[in-house]
Structure 1
Amino acid sequence: MSTLTTPIARHTPSAAIAVKKRPLPLIRHSLSLAKRSLIKTARTPEALIDVTLQPAIFLVIFVYIFGGAVAGDTHTYLQFLLPGILAQTIAQGSISIGVNLNTDMEKGIFDRFKSLPIPRSAPLVGSVVGDVVRYVIVTVSTLLVGYLMGFRIMTNPLSALAGCLLAVLFALCLSWVSVFVGMKVRTSGAVQGIMFLIVLPLSFASNVFVPAATLPSWMQHVVAWNPLTHLVASVRGLFLGTPMGDSVYWTLAWCVGLVAVFMPLAMRAYRKKV
């Protein structure tokens, strides 16, 4: 009797599933959902307007209208402004992920994900990973337009690459704020409004457009704690060789803090919603 049941037990469906199960399911399923996000972006290229045309428009407007008044000539202001525009645009680019996730929730797509045998957090992690393409595009488009206007990197290719990677890393970490907002509010329009109220003051109360020393003394204290200030100072230093101080370390600290605070909050809000 035992000789007949032993081979059958070895070929039960549960045993076969256990053999075929791959390690690290969160990473595997997150990458699959990131691929879905990339396919969705490829099919709707108009959704990339904010990361392609917006940096060009900002550079042209601020350099040729305000450059002479702020820096005395447009070339000097372009060298100063481009790292700031890159930081501002890449931060604004993180708004779309919260809008898209909220829209998917409204359409019931996450209800389908809930029925699949995947980790509950995989849809959010996959969306954030897939959004990295947007941040790479905004970095490339900003530098390309800047070079056509006369911007030049004054350090070396490795330092420039480090500045680009730091900006993309910051955007990925900041996107968890947008994901959290997208999970908490009821409409995609509300997500966009709330995130603009967060990102826009960060952009102007910083060293993006003018040196922090030219601002009122009370605002300088706000600017000193602004994460965009540290990101811009880091990118300027890596692109132009200007003094950075400990801005890179502060930027990395902000990245860790944003993920440590808003990723668990976003996951918790997502689990409550689905």
Structure 2
Amino acid sequence: MSVVQSVRSAPSPAATGAGFLTGLRVFSARSLKKSFRDGESLLMAILLPVFLMLIFTFVMGGAIDVGGGGRQAYLAYVMPAVVLTAAGFGASYTAVVVSQDVTTGFMNRLRTMPFPAVTVLLGHAVSSMVRNLIATAVVFAVGFRVGFRTEASAGQLLGSVGLILLWILAITVIFALLGLVAGSPESANGYGFVLLFLPYVSSGFAPVETMPGWLQGFAQHQPMTPVIDASRALMNGQDAGADLWIAVAWCLGFMAVAVWIMAVVFPRKVAR
């Protein structure tokens, strides 16, 4: 057998694809670059919570008396609700970009490449977390600048921020699911719009007992109320009590259900 024949008959090495961590790193970087290039969306993600905090504190803070402490007490009361409200708007961007990846055929193109396609969704989740973390840091900075003070320990502040980030992750996964099942980016944005109203019908901006009786039941038992109450308690150096575990259960429950549905829908959606 000649040398040429030996070379031709030798088996070629099997092509190796990118692993899960490599795919996650690549698509997280892709999503972050795309996010930071969209200057308007990034600016809104940062400025919206600041404007909400200033409006509720200086426009409504004098009218809504929480514990007789005036505007400063209301600022401490409303801070977690502002952060979580803005996080919802920031996470809704995930539904749009995931829907764009599905409807433009990007997901299907990945089937011909050595990448785990699911890392695209995880990359969008990482990008959303980074955007919202920046917005949260800006809100806290402006809040301290306009008078927010706390007696909370470092551990309590970290616990409050950690719970906020856990909710951001949960709602990001939900929006990613909406983007996956929606028929267009516009409809994906519309489906999630109802979720953005949850903080307003909770204990976020006014005590539940001040609401009409027919609304109090929903406001007291919807997921945003324990998340906000626990975050507020920790942020102000108080004991979160059972609200903390109820909030964590809501977050983990949402993520478990959303991930399970995505595991069922994603292969079929990509294969279309």
2:148 is matched with which residue?
Answer: 151
Quote the RMSD (CA, aligned, Å): 2.5
1:90 is matched with which residue?
Answer: 87
* 1:42 aligned to which of 36, 47, 55: 36
Tell whether 2:253 aligns with 1:257: yes
Q: State the alpha-carbon separation in 2 of the partners of residues 171 and 215 from structure 1.
A: 26
1:66 alignment partner, SS class: coil
Q: Please say which of residues 75-84 and 38-47 is displaced more in the overlay.
A: 38-47
Q: State the alpha-carbon separation in 2 of the partners of residues 107 and 55 from structure 1.
A: 32
2:62 alignment partner, SS class: helix
Q: Higher helix proportion, which one?
A: 1
* 1:55 aligned to which of 49, 59, 72: 49
Q: State the alpha-carbon separation in 1 of the partners of residues 246 and 135 from structure 2.
A: 23
Q: State the alpha-carbon separation in 1 of the partners of residues 213 and 223 from structure 2.
A: 18
Structure 1 unaligned regions, length at least 5: 2-7
- Given residue 28 of structure 2, which amino acid in structure 1 is its aligned partner? A
Question: Displacement, 1:12?
Answer: 4.4
Question: Displacement, 1:244?
Answer: 1.9
1:212 is matched with which residue?
Answer: 208
Q: Please say which of residues 233-242 and 25-34 is displaced more in the overlay.
A: 25-34
2:117 alignment partner, SS class: coil
Q: State the alpha-carbon separation in 2 of the partners of residues 116 and 21 from structure 1.
A: 8
1:237 is matched with which residue?
Answer: 233
- Given residue 206 of structure 1, which amino acid in structure 2 is its aligned partner? S
Query: What percentage of aligned pairs have identical amino acids?
Result: 26
- Given residue 13 of structure 1, which amino acid in structure 2 is its aligned partner? P
Q: State the alpha-carbon separation in 2 of the partners of residues 114 and 193 from structure 1.
A: 29
Q: State the alpha-carbon separation in 2 of the partners of residues 190 and 271 from structure 1.
A: 21
Task: Report the TM-score, using the length of structure 2 for normalisation.
Answer: 0.88
Residues 121, 267 of structure 1: 8 Å contact kept = no
1:210 alignment partner, SS class: coil
The size of the alignment, in residue pairs, is 264
Q: State the alpha-carbon separation in 1 of the partners of residues 134 and 163 from structure 2.
A: 14
* 2:184 aligned to which of 174, 182, 187: 187
1:141 is matched with which residue?
Answer: 138
> Where does structure 1 differ by over 6 angstroms across 4 or more consecutive aligned residues?
8-11
2:4 is matched with which residue?
Answer: none
Q: State the alpha-carbon separation in 2 of the partners of residues 75 and 130 from structure 1.
A: 33
Residues 113, 123 of structure 1: 8 Å contact kept = no
Question: Displacement, 1:11?
Answer: 7.4
Question: Displacement, 1:21?
Answer: 7.0
The verdict on how the C-alpha distance between 1:194 and 1:162 changes in structure 2, with shifts beyond 3 A counting, is same
Residues 227, 251 of structure 1: 8 Å contact kept = yes
Q: State the alpha-carbon separation in 1 of the partners of residues 10 and 217 from structure 2.
A: 68
- The one-character-per-residue Cα deviations of 1:226-246 (angstroms, maximum 9, x if unpaired) are 211111111111110234221
Tell whether 2:262 aligns with 1:266: yes
